[in-house]
Amino acid sequence: MTKTDTPVLHLKDASLTLNSNTGPVRILQGIDLDVQQGETLGLIGPSGSGKSSLLMVMGGLELATGGTVHALGQDLTAMNEDALARFRRQNMGVVFQSFHLIPTMTALENVATPLELAGHRDAFDRAQVELEAVGLGHRSEHFPAQLSGGEQQRVALARALAPRPSILLADEPTGNLDESNGEAIMDLLFGLRDRYGATLVMVTHAPELARRCDRVVRLRDGQIATELSTSEAAE
């Protein structure tokens, strides 16, 4: 992968306003943010401050209602649903806060699906290796409902990491894990950056994870409150 000066993610005055039954809710406003290739960015901030929403906007899973959002030089706000889905399939891995595993598929099938969509003939063999990497080789035939929260989280991580995306967006990826599993997962996440030059954006409450990020942005009330060096963020 060659390095370029164009940021991998470029948000300019991005905002998100959603309609609810009580009227419009301003969820994000005035977000200016660039993330460079190979950079790891941590997103922190109190509950409800907009961390998950910002991650969704970066992935085109929520379309910004104002401003612009570019990923790999492409304007996500100008793409239709199909183009966005294709773009994500080719370039992005997303780990949702609530995992979003497909309940009718086994762990193995969940991880193999994006590999199959990407045309890998050995999708199931690769998926098994990915599950082993998150310590779940022995759970491959289990359905999500038969797995603990931390195990589901690890399956979701395996699924996101398996296609080696150039951008990984992860919402509290170690949120349900004990210390040793959390560390193993952090090593896998940072390994994607170290080995493949991927760009990582991670929402986290964990100081250990924030400390390992190159840069940390703190949100408050849907706005960027501060940009911190990682040593400050970990305090």
Residue numbers at the binding site for ligand ATP (CB under 6 A): 18, 20, 25, 27, 45, 47-53, 97
By CB under 5 A, residue 174 contacts Mg ion = no
Which entry of Mg ion, ligand ATP, none binds 7, CB below 5 to 8 A by partner kind? none
Among 52, 152, 153, 166, interactor with Mg ion by CB under 5 A: 52
- Cα 62–173–165 angle (5° rounding)? 65
Q: Looking at beta carbons only, is 2 or 21 nearer to ligand ATP?
A: 21
Residue 162 CB, shortest distance to ligand ATP, in Å, is 25
Type of residue numbered 146? Q
By CB under 5 A, residue 53 contacts Mg ion = no
Q: Looking at beta carbons only, is 50 or 150 nearer to ligand ATP?
A: 50
Q: Can you tell me the distance from the alpha carbon of 24 to that of 5, in angstroms, rounded to the nearest whole number?
A: 37
By CB under 5 A, residue 204 contacts Mg ion = no
8 A C-beta contact, residue 168 and residue 93:
yes
Residue 203 CB, shortest distance to ligand ATP, in Å, is 6
Which entry of ligand ATP, Mg ion, none binds 20, CB below 5 to 8 A by partner kind? ligand ATP
Q: Can you tell me the distance from the alpha carbon of 229 to that of 219, in angstroms, rounded to the nearest whole number?
A: 15
From the CB of residue 17, how many other CB atoms can be counted at a distance below 10 Å?
14
Q: Looking at beta carbons only, is 25 or 118 nearer to ligand ATP?
A: 25
Residue 169 CB, shortest distance to ligand ATP, in Å, is 12
By CB under 5 A, residue 49 contacts Mg ion = no
Q: Looking at beta carbons only, is 35 or 57 nearer to ligand ATP?
A: 57
By CB under 5 A, residue 153 contacts Mg ion = no
Pattern 84-113, Mg ion, x by CB under 5 A: -------------x----------------
Q: Can you tell me the distance from the alpha carbon of 104 to that of 88, in angstroms, rounded to the nearest whole number?
A: 23
Residue 154, CA distances (Å) to 3, 38, 66, 97, 182 in order: 30, 23, 34, 12, 10
Q: Looking at beta carbons only, is 8 or 27 nearer to ligand ATP?
A: 27
Q: Can you tell me the distance from the alpha carbon of 176 to that of 82, in angstroms, rounded to the nearest whole number?
A: 32
Q: Can you tell me the distance from the alpha carbon of 76 to that of 83, in angstroms, rounded to the nearest whole number?
A: 9
Q: List the beta strands (DSSP E) in the chain.
A: 9-20, 23-35, 40-44, 66-71, 74-75, 92-95, 167-171, 199-203, 215-220, 223-228
By the criterion CB under 5 A, which residues form the site for Mg ion? 52, 97
